[in-house]
Amino acid sequence: MRIVAALGGNALLRRGEALSAANQANNVRLAALSLAPLIEAGHELVITHGNGPQVGLLALQAAAGPADGDQPLDVLDAQSEGMIGYLIEREMRNLLGPARRVATLLTQVRVDPRDPAFGHPTKPIGPVHDDAGAARLSARGFAVARDGKGWRRVVASPAPAEILVAPIVADLVDAGALVICAGGGGIPVVRDEAGHLQGIEAVIDKDLASGLLARSLRADLLMMLTDVEAVMLDWGRPEARAITEAAPRALAALDFAAGSMGPKVAAAVVFAEGGKGRAVIGRLQDAGALVAGTAGTGIREGAPGITCRTPS
């Protein structure tokens, strides 16, 4: 089976954890332990990952430095993609042995400069701030939005239009390589009037980019790994229920948070429509069961509407 596995930023850095190198390396090691058995079982695997906490931290560090040392978001996206990709590749090589081919690709993703997302930032990045911290961010011209009891910086998250390295990823997978790419949704670029690529200030949603990549690769399964067991109805309420299976159209009719579960559901629906593949959303530690269809929320054509159960 050809699988695109999208690691959520919160699967790599758990909620409330310090943004330390040690914490990130340890969580990447745990992620590798969940994913390596899929390779050993004979599946073809492409790994993508989020970068929200990491790119936000890099932006804060750049802003705190010399006045001429600030960096645009596309460059920070590239830095975070390289950093996280290196950690994932290192741990997968350690687990799979030197004979396994592993490649990490910096991934430029073309977006439309006229995308309305540029006027309506929704993608949370960086750490959670209290009211005073949010006021400081606002004073520096950053957009902020509520995240639980705190605040986070939010940035534009345009829809991915083209994964520029998709043909190269396909060649590597066909050759038996494990590929890590489209980290943080990829590096956002636009084409100017001369057809040249230029970076643009944004963070592409990694689930939407992963869905586009999965369609480009004709993957059998799009697996979005996070820190919750399934997509929930009535999330945060006593009557909350886990969706175990859903038809794409039935799931698309429901509303989910724009900055978190919403893009996962949107990516799953688009990928599963037409019956060319199955999508699944669930916990990283359940990766094997998600592939087997015994955990998480499975989205496929032919499913009988929405099926739920009480979450564990």
Structure tokens at 300: 């496929």
Between CA 158 and CA 173 the distance in angstroms is: 27
DSSP 207-252: HHHHHHHHHHHT-SEEEEEESSSS-EESTTSTT-EEEEEE-HHHHH
CA-based radius of gyration for the chain: 19
Between CA 203 and CA 262 the distance in angstroms is: 16
Closest by CA position to 55, among listed 203, 214, 201, 221: 203
- Known catalytic residue at 149: no
- Known catalytic residue at 276: no
Residues 8, 9, 184, 298: which is the catalytic one?
9
Residues 50, 211, 264, 277: which is the catalytic one?
264
- Known catalytic residue at 264: yes
Residues 185, 206, 259, 296: which is the catalytic one?
206
What is the distance in angstroms between the CA of the first residue and the CA of the last residue of the chain? Answer: 29
SS3 assignment, position 198: strand
- The residues annotated with a catalytic role in the active site are 9-10, 123, 206, 264
